[in-house]
Chain A
């Protein structure tokens, strides 16, 4: 049986994780879901899931990548519960006209990139998230998603192709 002070330390360590990584986790969710409120709900779900599998000795290992992977999976689950679309059909892409709230060029560019990401089907969004933002290798992505390496590569390259077309005029 674990000693109370060990559990207490684990609790404190986990609270520290929430403080340190909530912004990172939020940004994973925000990139994948595109809505701040949904993203915050996903953050809470992520930390709850992480907490359930948390052990005090986990404080020794780097938690950031682990938490971000959980967050990506939480978001993928949420996206799959939404209205499903065929994989080859792209999500509606918003107009490239700048909105009044986007004053600077940098903001406009970031909005275009986020819109392009959200135009991808969930599977493509997931591989872009894992490769470009979490910097997982092909093999790590295949293991994380439980899919063949060839599928992962196909999705990643196809997602980049779509993004490249969408963002051709954005520099």
Chain B
């Protein structure tokens, strides 16, 4: 006698056997104690799973779930809190930056004038014709073949090309001045950051209390 396979036994219990196989399986189970015992073990699993009771979630789940839904009135509170916390982060960053800048020596800010030497063209590109004529003038000013015949190449740091007229009017830029960040301004920024953060926390507290009610 062929016993029922595990697959057929499971399909039998799930009601997934076609009618003719169902009758065949029923007939076999009536006469086979071994298959009956296997089926009883499986049936026990079905029964235990079915009897598993539902558990109750915590009372806070409902309001917190609703509050997270976009468009829900609770959501505005979370979004506001998010914006306020972002503002707090930016304010803190500014305060940190201001404190770092206030510690730097004043000459650190002279980079602008150091790079833009008077007498050199600045902030505008010359036209190709102007570049060509400048190169031509430079070539004429140098002694012909001097670079090729020189026993040693000129030191590029001490070599000074002949003075040439500027191609275009020099644009004189005012020296860059950055606002000086004093300890006071740093304190003001830090206080602002703190105020924004406290406002955010207060908004969160109010929203949470409202949801819990």
Please give the residue numbers on chain A whose beta carbons come within 8 Å of chain B beta carbons, in ascending order: 11, 14-15, 18-19, 22-24, 26-27, 30-31, 36, 39-40, 43-44, 47-48, 51, 109-110, 113-114, 128, 131-133, 137-138, 153, 156-157, 160-161, 163-164, 167-168, 170-171
Contacts and interface: CB of A to CB of B under 8 A. Distances in A.
Contact of B45 (A109, A110, A163): A163
7 contacts: A15-B69, A18-B62, A22-B62, A40-B61, A44-B61, A48-B68, A156-B10
B190 to A, nearest CB: 35
Interface string B1-20: 00000110011001010000
Given A109-B48, A153-B11, A160-B45, 9 more contacts: A18-B65, A23-B57, A26-B61, A27-B55, A113-B48, A128-B49, A131-B14, A164-B44, A167-B44
A24 B55 CA distance: 9
Interface of B: 6-7, 10-11, 14, 16, 41-42, 44-46, 48-58, 61-62, 64-66, 68-72
Chain B interface, >50% SS class: helix
A90 B51 CA distance: 24
A110 B53 CA distance: 8
A132 to B, nearest CB: 5
Contacts of A133: 49
A51 B52 CA distance: 29
B45 A40 contact: no
A168 B46 contact: no
Contact of A27 (B10, B16, B54, B72): B54
B66 A18 contact: yes
B25 to A, nearest CB: 15
A110 to B, nearest CB: 6
B61 A43 contact: yes
Nearest to A139: B16
Chain A interface, >50% SS class: helix
A22 B69 contact: no
B62 A170 contact: no
Contacts of B14: 131, 138
Contacts of A22: 57, 61-62, 65
A153 B10 contact: yes
B8 to A, nearest CB: 10
Nearest to A150: B7
Contacts of B10: 153, 156-157, 160
Contacts of A44: 61, 64-65, 68
A156 B9 CA distance: 12
A32 to B, nearest CB: 12
Contacts of A171: 44
A47 B45 contact: no
| Of A109, A110, A164, most B-chain CB atoms within 10 Å | A164
A36 B48 CA distance: 21
Contacts of B58: 36, 40
Contacts of A168: 41, 44
Given A131-B14, A164-B41, A23 B72 contact: no
Given A15-B72, A138-B16, A153 B7 contact: yes
Contacts of A114: 52
A31 B50 CA distance: 12
Nearest to B38: A164
Contacts of A128: 49
Contacts of A48: 68-69
A157 B6 contact: yes
A138 B64 CA distance: 36
